Amino acid sequence: MKFAIFEDLVPNTSSVKIHLRGCHHYAMHEETKTTRWHEIENFNDSQILAKQISSSNKKGYRLAKCCTTKNLDRIGEI
């Protein structure tokens, strides 16, 4: 697994975000009742799942700002 998708379970609070597995936000997260993390192996599948999850969220989905395109290029995902 290279990616983790962050989902806020409170509707329309924040966008669904795609993080790298090594990101400090994912590595240091604590379980809560209002958030969920999904572990995904590749970037394409991450985008598909993020789009599905965000279909009921007005905020949509995006690549987390802390996990830039530069980082994806470095691990060979784009």
The domain locations on the chain are 3-74
pTM of the model: 0.83
| Confidence at residue 70, expressed as pLDDT on a 0 to 100 scale | 61
| Confidence at residue 69, expressed as pLDDT on a 0 to 100 scale | 65
Q: Which tokens in the block code for residue 29?
A: 């997260």
**Percent above pLDDT 90 for the chain:** 56
Give the residue ranges of the chain where pLDDT is below 50.
none
| Confidence at residue 51, expressed as pLDDT on a 0 to 100 scale | 96
Show Cβ contacts of residue 2 under 8 Å, excluding neighbours closer than 6 positions: 20, 21, 40, 41, 42, 43, 75, 77
